[in-house]
Amino acid sequence: MKHLIVYSSVTGNTKKIAEAIAQIFDEGADIFPVEAAPPADDYDFIAIGFWVDRGTADHKTQAYLRTIHGKKVALFATLGAYPDSEHAAKSMANAAALLADDNKLLGSFICQGKVASRLLEKFKDLPEGHPHAMTPEREARHREAAKHPDANDLQKAQEIFASLLTKISLVH
Ligand SMILES: Cc1cc2nc3c(=O)[nH]c(=O)nc-3n(C[C@H](O)[C@H](O)[C@H](O)COP(=O)(O)O)c2cc1C
Protein backbone atom coordinates (compact mmCIF):
# COMPACT_ATOMS: atom_id res chain seq x y z
CA MET A 1 0.00 0.00 0.00
CA LYS A 2 1.37 3.43 -0.91
CA HIS A 3 1.12 6.33 1.53
CA LEU A 4 1.14 10.00 0.64
CA ILE A 5 1.62 13.01 2.90
CA VAL A 6 0.66 16.39 1.44
CA TYR A 7 1.05 19.54 3.51
CA SER A 8 0.65 23.28 3.20
CA SER A 9 2.95 25.44 5.29
CA VAL A 10 4.02 29.05 4.94
CA THR A 11 6.21 29.45 8.02
CA GLY A 12 7.21 25.81 8.59
CA ASN A 13 5.00 24.72 11.51
CA THR A 14 2.82 22.31 9.55
CA LYS A 15 5.84 21.06 7.62
CA LYS A 16 7.42 19.97 10.93
CA ILE A 17 4.35 17.87 11.73
CA ALA A 18 4.35 16.40 8.22
CA GLU A 19 7.99 15.37 8.55
CA ALA A 20 7.39 13.81 11.98
CA ILE A 21 4.46 11.80 10.62
CA ALA A 22 6.54 10.64 7.65
CA GLN A 23 8.93 8.91 10.05
CA ILE A 24 6.37 6.42 11.36
CA PHE A 25 5.72 4.60 8.08
CA ASP A 26 7.92 1.50 8.11
CA GLU A 27 7.58 1.08 4.38
CA GLY A 28 8.05 4.83 3.83
CA ALA A 29 5.69 7.55 2.66
CA ASP A 30 5.91 10.06 -0.15
CA ILE A 31 5.84 13.59 1.22
CA PHE A 32 5.10 16.71 -0.84
CA PRO A 33 4.14 20.33 -0.29
CA VAL A 34 0.63 20.87 -1.65
CA GLU A 35 2.01 22.99 -4.51
CA ALA A 36 3.81 19.88 -5.84
CA ALA A 37 1.34 17.15 -4.88
CA PRO A 38 1.39 14.22 -7.32
CA PRO A 39 -1.82 12.66 -8.67
CA ALA A 40 -3.56 10.87 -5.81
CA ASP A 41 -4.54 7.85 -7.96
CA ASP A 42 -1.47 5.84 -6.99
CA TYR A 43 -2.10 6.10 -3.25
CA ASP A 44 -4.44 4.31 -0.86
CA PHE A 45 -3.91 6.58 2.13
CA ILE A 46 -3.33 10.32 2.15
CA ALA A 47 -2.41 12.42 5.18
CA ILE A 48 -3.28 16.04 4.42
CA GLY A 49 -1.88 18.86 6.55
CA PHE A 50 -2.87 22.52 6.56
CA TRP A 51 -2.42 25.70 8.54
CA VAL A 52 -5.62 27.23 9.84
CA ASP A 53 -6.57 30.37 7.96
CA ARG A 54 -9.60 32.23 9.27
CA GLY A 55 -11.22 29.20 10.80
CA THR A 56 -10.68 26.65 8.08
CA ALA A 57 -7.94 25.11 5.95
CA ASP A 58 -5.71 27.52 4.05
CA HIS A 59 -6.80 28.17 0.45
CA LYS A 60 -4.36 25.80 -1.23
CA THR A 61 -5.45 22.92 0.99
CA GLN A 62 -9.12 23.76 0.47
CA ALA A 63 -8.61 23.33 -3.27
CA TYR A 64 -6.62 20.13 -2.78
CA LEU A 65 -9.17 18.56 -0.41
CA ARG A 66 -11.86 18.99 -3.08
CA THR A 67 -9.84 16.95 -5.59
CA ILE A 68 -9.60 13.81 -3.41
CA HIS A 69 -11.95 10.89 -4.10
CA GLY A 70 -12.25 7.34 -2.83
CA LYS A 71 -9.30 7.53 -0.45
CA LYS A 72 -8.56 6.80 3.17
CA VAL A 73 -7.65 10.21 4.54
CA ALA A 74 -6.36 11.68 7.79
CA LEU A 75 -5.99 15.39 8.46
CA PHE A 76 -3.46 17.32 10.52
CA ALA A 77 -3.15 21.03 11.15
CA THR A 78 -1.49 23.78 13.12
CA LEU A 79 -3.12 26.97 14.37
CA GLY A 80 -2.57 29.89 16.71
CA ALA A 81 -5.49 29.01 19.00
CA TYR A 82 -5.34 26.31 21.68
CA PRO A 83 -5.78 22.82 20.25
CA ASP A 84 -8.58 21.96 22.70
CA SER A 85 -10.56 25.13 21.82
CA GLU A 86 -13.89 25.19 20.03
CA HIS A 87 -12.16 27.22 17.30
CA ALA A 88 -9.69 24.37 16.71
CA ALA A 89 -12.48 21.78 16.56
CA LYS A 90 -14.51 23.95 14.16
CA SER A 91 -11.51 24.68 11.95
CA MET A 92 -10.82 20.96 11.62
CA ALA A 93 -14.52 20.21 10.98
CA ASN A 94 -14.67 22.95 8.32
CA ALA A 95 -11.70 21.42 6.53
CA ALA A 96 -13.10 17.89 6.83
CA ALA A 97 -16.40 19.09 5.31
CA LEU A 98 -14.53 19.87 2.07
CA LEU A 99 -13.76 16.18 1.54
CA ALA A 100 -16.15 14.34 -0.75
CA ASP A 101 -18.34 11.66 0.86
CA ASP A 102 -16.63 8.89 -1.08
CA ASN A 103 -13.52 9.32 1.10
CA LYS A 104 -13.08 7.67 4.48
CA LEU A 105 -11.77 10.12 7.11
CA LEU A 106 -9.82 8.04 9.61
CA GLY A 107 -8.80 10.70 12.09
CA SER A 108 -7.10 14.01 12.72
CA PHE A 109 -4.48 15.84 14.73
CA ILE A 110 -4.20 19.54 15.50
CA CYS A 111 -1.71 21.54 17.57
CA GLN A 112 -0.59 25.11 18.07
CA GLY A 113 1.93 26.75 15.76
CA LYS A 114 3.84 30.01 16.14
CA VAL A 115 1.90 32.87 14.55
CA ALA A 116 3.83 34.91 11.99
CA SER A 117 5.28 38.07 13.54
CA ARG A 118 3.95 40.24 10.70
CA LEU A 119 0.41 39.21 11.73
CA LEU A 120 1.09 39.82 15.42
CA GLU A 121 2.42 43.29 14.59
CA LYS A 122 -0.84 44.06 12.79
CA PHE A 123 -2.90 42.89 15.77
CA LYS A 124 -0.95 45.25 18.05
CA ASP A 125 -2.20 48.26 16.12
CA LEU A 126 -5.89 47.32 16.29
CA PRO A 127 -8.22 49.45 18.41
CA GLU A 128 -9.59 48.10 21.67
CA GLY A 129 -12.76 46.11 21.08
CA HIS A 130 -11.68 44.83 17.66
CA PRO A 131 -12.09 41.01 17.52
CA HIS A 132 -8.32 40.57 17.07
CA ALA A 133 -7.14 43.41 19.33
CA MET A 134 -4.49 42.36 21.82
CA THR A 135 -5.71 41.49 25.29
CA PRO A 136 -3.67 39.87 28.08
CA GLU A 137 -5.46 36.59 27.31
CA ARG A 138 -4.56 36.77 23.59
CA GLU A 139 -0.99 37.76 24.34
CA ALA A 140 -0.66 34.70 26.59
CA ARG A 141 -2.06 32.49 23.83
CA HIS A 142 0.39 33.89 21.29
CA ARG A 143 3.27 33.43 23.74
CA GLU A 144 2.24 29.79 24.14
CA ALA A 145 1.79 29.35 20.37
CA ALA A 146 5.33 30.66 19.87
CA LYS A 147 6.64 27.49 21.56
CA HIS A 148 4.88 25.15 19.11
CA PRO A 149 5.02 22.75 17.49
CA ASP A 150 7.32 21.33 20.18
CA ALA A 151 8.76 17.86 20.69
CA ASN A 152 5.63 16.78 22.52
CA ASP A 153 3.39 17.85 19.60
CA LEU A 154 5.56 15.92 17.15
CA GLN A 155 5.40 12.85 19.36
CA LYS A 156 1.61 13.11 19.76
CA ALA A 157 1.20 13.44 15.99
CA GLN A 158 3.32 10.32 15.52
CA GLU A 159 1.29 8.37 18.09
CA ILE A 160 -2.02 9.34 16.53
CA PHE A 161 -0.88 8.47 13.03
CA ALA A 162 0.66 5.21 14.24
CA SER A 163 -2.71 4.18 15.65
CA LEU A 164 -4.37 5.26 12.38
CA LEU A 165 -2.07 2.91 10.53
CA THR A 166 -3.49 0.05 12.55
CA LYS A 167 -6.97 1.21 11.53
CA ILE A 168 -5.91 1.31 7.89
CA SER A 169 -4.87 -2.31 8.01
CA LEU A 170 -8.21 -3.15 9.66
CA VAL A 171 -10.33 -1.35 7.05
CA HIS A 172 -8.17 -2.49 4.16
C1 LIG B 1 -3.41 35.04 7.37
C2 LIG B 1 -3.41 34.14 8.59
C3 LIG B 1 -4.63 33.70 9.09
C4 LIG B 1 -4.67 32.88 10.24
N5 LIG B 1 -5.87 32.47 10.73
C6 LIG B 1 -5.90 31.75 11.89
C7 LIG B 1 -7.15 31.36 12.46
O8 LIG B 1 -8.23 31.61 11.94
N9 LIG B 1 -7.12 30.69 13.62
C10 LIG B 1 -5.96 30.34 14.26
O11 LIG B 1 -6.02 29.73 15.32
N12 LIG B 1 -4.75 30.66 13.71
C13 LIG B 1 -4.70 31.34 12.54
N14 LIG B 1 -3.49 31.67 11.99
C15 LIG B 1 -2.24 31.14 12.60
C16 LIG B 1 -1.67 29.99 11.79
O17 LIG B 1 -2.66 29.01 11.49
C18 LIG B 1 -0.54 29.28 12.56
O19 LIG B 1 0.47 30.19 12.92
C20 LIG B 1 0.05 28.11 11.77
O21 LIG B 1 0.82 27.31 12.65
C22 LIG B 1 0.94 28.53 10.59
O23 LIG B 1 1.39 27.34 9.96
P24 LIG B 1 2.66 27.25 8.98
O25 LIG B 1 3.90 27.63 9.77
O26 LIG B 1 2.68 25.83 8.58
O27 LIG B 1 2.42 28.18 7.85
C28 LIG B 1 -3.44 32.48 10.86
C29 LIG B 1 -2.22 32.92 10.33
C30 LIG B 1 -2.19 33.74 9.21
C31 LIG B 1 -0.86 34.20 8.65
CA of 108 to the centre of ligand 1 (A): 17
Cis peptide before 39 (omega within 30 of 0): no
Whether the predicted pLDDT of 168 surpasses 80: no
**Cα–Cα dist 57/65, whole Å:** 9
Q: In this structure, what are the phi and psi dihedrals at residue 130, rounded to the nearest 5 degrees?
A: -65, 145
Mean pLDDT (the chain, rounded):
94
Of 63, 79, 62, 73, whose CA–CA distance to 14 is shortest?
79
Between 167 and 141, name the one with better pLDDT.
Answer: 141
Domains and CATH numbers, the chain: 3-113+149-170 (3.40.50.360), 115-147 (no CATH)
pLDDT tens-digit profile of 106-136? 999 999 999 999 999 988 889 988 988 889 9
Whether the predicted pLDDT of 171 surpasses 60: no
> What residue ranges line ligand 1, CB within 6 angstroms?
9-15, 51-55, 78-81, 87, 113-116, 119
CA of 2 to the centre of ligand 1 (A): 30
Q: How many CB atoms are closer than 10 A to CB 135? A: 10
Whether the predicted pLDDT of 10 surpasses 70: yes
